[in-house]
Amino acid sequence: MLLGAHVSISGAIHLAVDRAVELGCTTFQIFTRNPRGWTYTKLKQQDVDEFNRKFENAGFKVAMAHMPYLPNIASPKKLIYDKSVKSLTAELERCGLLGVELLVVHIGSHLGAGIGKGVELVANAVNQALEKVDNKVLVLLENMAGQKNSCGSKFQDIAQILSRIERQSRVGVCLDTCHLLAAGYDIRSKEAVEATLKEFDRVVGLDRLKAVHLNDSKGGLGSGLDRHEHIGMGSIGVQGFKAFINHPAIRDKPMVIETPEDEKGNYMTDLKKLRTLYAA
């Protein structure tokens, strides 16, 4: 089971590997830099070497990075869009240095310009970044939660974006369970999971699915609310997660939690729960 958590890079980026090991992860996710700003410092070669050494020694086969919060590759505002494309390009380069071959990207918001314009901008951004950075890193489009003006909340939007990518072998999808439910895709039972993944296969293609974010949802079905909850404590529930992680299309994919850490639980408790739900 490729199961892990989004771990901190505080102190030094290679310390993320240590934190993943402490949690018993078999995969993990990081930000390669401060996610709340535009500026960043160049990765130091000694930190890159130490990250690679620890990664290999711990036996990890796959990990993913997540784009920072500020970029919006669907933005019709030129200044933000240009900065966002530059940020995506830089993240591809950084992931390549670290040997992290999956880069998860929020598809973003068209800010009222319309879904057609948003789809066009996202595809152009990914094409520009992939043209500039020739490495093995895949850009994974993450489904959105149905927020107002969001691109990529619906499978049809994701399919449209993917169809416009020139380097097809370097793009895929990361499905977030909280976002699925919030956007109106039911995954609360075995039958619902089967129906939703069948629809994803019909519209997008399960061959495009490369990674998963496992988060329960504070909001209900179709709420449009991107609020993560502990595994089994939200609207998806224990049976939903049991069905989802054991589905043949999901069970061999890298799965990462981004759940809260509060009085109700933490990464350790959520990972433990998921392991008990996973059928050997």
Q: Looking at the annotation, which residues are catalytic?
A: 36, 66, 69, 106, 142, 176, 179, 213, 226, 228, 258
Q: CA-to-CA distance for 278 and 280, rounded, in angstroms?
A: 6
**Residue 195 region by backbone torsions, left for phi larger than 0, else alpha for psi between -120 and 50, else beta:** alpha
Contact 253, 210 (CB under 8 A): yes
Whole-angstrom distance, CA of residue 100 vs CA of residue 209: 17
> Six-digit token pair at 49?
């070497």
| Dist. CA 15–CA 131, nearest whole Å | 31
Q: How many C-alpha atoms does 71 have within 13 Å on its Cβ side?
A: 26
Instruction: Show Cβ contacts of residue 205 under 8 Å, excluding neighbours closer than 6 positions.
Output: none
Count the helices and strands in the chain (H runs, E runs): 9, 10
d(CA 116, CA 108): 13
- Tokens matching residue 234: 């939200």
Neighbours of 252 (CB within 10 A): 9
Q: Tell me the DSSP string of 151-175.
A: SSSSHHHHHHHHHT-S-GGGEEEEE
Q: Which tokens go with 113? A: 């310009």
